[in-house]
Amino acid sequence: MRAEKSTSWHIGVIGGSGLAGGIDLEEAQEIPVSSPFGDPSGPVVTGRLGGVRLTFIARHGAGHRIPPGQVNYRANIDVLKRCGVTDVLALSAVGSLCEAMAPGQFVAVDQFIDRTAGRAGSFFGPGLVAHVSLADPVCERLSGLAASAARLAGAEVHAGGCYVAIEGPQFSTRAESRLYRAWGADVIGMTAMPEARLAREAELPYALLGMVTDYDCWRAEEAGVEVSHVLEVMHANARIARDTLHRLASSLPSLRAPSPIDTALEHAFVTEPAARDPQLVARLDAVACRIFGERD
């Protein structure tokens, strides 16, 4: 069994393709990393911010060429794990389902409702069954640190919010938008699931900062969502997002204390060892290396 995670921070960042270039990483390198779960969205960019290792992957690939339903979420999380990241911060554009969360503001999401369909949502399956707890799907520690960093960067940040993940690529109908509000969802997006689920299976603490771009379409007196407006607000928030990463790196404790999520797989497996599929176990050489042994 592999030793516990390093006491050094290594932050994995999942965000838009335009984010990496403006982060100004020290010793930056673009590295292609392969995964047994298929092709990730693209190469990673790794380097340092104020002495903290940061590894970035563009969720939709270079030039935003991959739609939400076609992102290989398993490969992206697997690749970040292979790079040795200890924690994952996602930055995503979201629509607002409540008056209080206005366009231009940020939301430190703490819950999810999954309405996606047809996406590979687990690293496990026939031959190796595992069930992780997802009652509290984000890491409270990382989420709090990221929210504080965003505030220092000049953002108005809401601490907590429920994110409903839809399949897309179309935006919601008005009826759907009102239904999600009735369910108690606060923001809406297309990418957080199964990303958050897979991070938990990979024993990676995960947090999501949602950048509110619009009020979705539940307001009857307003026009529906237009991608041109979404992009306009996203570009306006890009500087804050980059500054948030710098401030997060500078505010991290010098030593990374263990997180309960670091051992999320400890009692998750229900398949008897003799019945486990060795090929599937081999594919998990990064995701579950702590359980099945150090990868080569």
User: Which residue numbers are catalytic?
Assistant: 214, 216
Residues of the chain by 3-state class (helix, strand, coil), percent to 5: 30, 25, 45
* CA–CA distance, 265 with 83 (Å, rounded to integer): 19
Phi/psi at 126 (nearest 5 deg)? -55, 125
Cβ count within 10 A of residue 262: 18
Instruction: Give the sign of the dihedral formed by CA 263, CA 268, CA 274, CA 277.
Output: negative
Q: Rounded distance, CA 39 to CA 152, Å?
A: 36
Instruction: Compute how many other C-beta atoms are within 10 angstroms of the C-beta atom of residue 270.
Output: 10
The span from the CA of 5 to the CA of 284, in Å, is: 17
- Report the C-alpha gap between 205 and 131 in whole angstroms: 17
Characterize 215-251 residue by residue with b for buried, 16 or more Cβ atoms within 10 angstroms of its Cβ, and e for exposed.
Answer: bbbbeeeeeebeeeebeeebeebbebbbbbbbbbbee
